[in-house]
Amino acid sequence: MARSWLEYRSPAWVQWCPGCGNYGILTAAFKAFAELDLDPAKTVVVSGIGCSSRIPYYINVTGVHTIHGRPIPVATGIKLANPHLTVLVMSGDGDLLGIGAAHFVALGRRNADITVVMHDNAVYGLTKGQAGPTLPAWVQTKALRAPNIQDALNPLLLAIASGYTFVARAYAYHVDKLKDIIKEAIKHRGAAFIDVLQPCPTYNNVMTQQWYEQRIYYIDEQEPDYDATIKSPEERSEKVARAIAKAMEWGDRIPLGIIYRDLTKEPFDARIEKIMPGYLEHPPATRPVHYEGKPLVDPFKVFTDRVVQA
């Protein structure tokens, strides 16, 4: 191991509440980055708005703290411009699946090689505890004035339906297990999604540490034969069905681990390379745009469909 995980800690004061699940996710990220020996300059953590979205300040890699709901398009732009960077989106359930849901879906459709780590605490913490998109209906957490009358959405199903090729669920307090899943997600070539269940000790007094720990189990421990990795297109319908059934499990038993993986779909950068050969070797971030200030393109030579001989 070339780098210690301590090297990924930034000097900034971490402003989360004591006992917040974000600490577990932060530590798991340090360890995953260290074990993968990621270059801090070439590793980019992009976040939106919310408690969890402060995370770029706390990890000593390149960070981009964007606006509410938009870390995915910003991250996609970074990855599009420079496909050789390791790009992660780390943001909350409200950011990614509330205000940013359109982008969450679009990332799956593109299968861009980006890892999305969703800090899923089912509440809007930074605005003091409103219902998040993963809070079940009729639950009334302590800041709500009335029970929640909107249904929770199932992030795993949405990810599978959107086209993510790596879909997993983890638990914030199990740092080493989470770290392993983050590593797998980063190594995966394509859009990877990890739904990290995360107690909010301040505002979610229903889905607490105890509540989760009574329900969660690891698929690889209890069902070692579970296999929802698509290695050839013919397996798709069967394995997708299996993954969907697993993703539907919720209630007394909540499965953790890698739910679904599709190794057959090409990532976005490979698709662009197909329609624009040379893209990977000379991506938009670094390809020459001038020579000593002079333009490289002569419009009369290039836009010949508009040239007319009078």
Residues near other proteins (CB under 8 A) are 12, 40-42, 44, 46, 54, 56-57, 60-67, 69-70, 72-82, 84-85, 102-103, 105-106, 272, 275-279, 282, 284-291, 293-303, 305-310
Shortest distance in whole angstroms from residue 47 CB to other proteins: 10
Sign of the four-CA dihedral 73, 79, 82, 83: negative
Contact 262, 234 (CB under 8 A): no
Shortest distance in whole angstroms from residue 124 CB to other proteins: 18
Distance of CA 286 to the CA centre of its chain: 25
Shortest distance in whole angstroms from residue 140 CB to other proteins: 31
Task: Please tell me the distance from the alpha carbon of residue 16 to that of residue 132, in angstroms, as a whole number.
Answer: 18
Task: Please tell me the distance from the alpha carbon of residue 169 to that of residue 294, in angstroms, as a whole number.
Answer: 51
Q: Which is nearer to other proteins, 149 or 310 (CB)?
A: 310
Q: List, as one string, the DSSP characters of 109-145.
A: HHT-SEEEEEEE-SEETTTTSEEPTTSPTT---TT-S
Q: Which is nearer to other proteins, 103 or 169 (CB)?
A: 103
Q: Which is nearer to other proteins, 66 or 141 (CB)?
A: 66
Shortest distance in whole angstroms from residue 232 CB to other proteins: 29
Task: Please tell me the distance from the alpha carbon of residue 191 to that of residue 145, in angstroms, as a whole number.
Answer: 37
Shortest distance in whole angstroms from residue 89 CB to other proteins: 11
Residue 116 CA: distances (Å) to CA of 6, 24, 168, 273, 298: 23, 16, 10, 23, 41
Shortest distance in whole angstroms from residue 26 CB to other proteins: 16
Q: Which is nearer to other proteins, 164 or 171 (CB)?
A: 164
DSSP H or E segment with residue 155: helix 155-162
> Which residue has tokens 């199990």?
174
Task: Please tell me the distance from the alpha carbon of residue 269 to that of residue 10, in angstroms, as a whole number.
Answer: 31
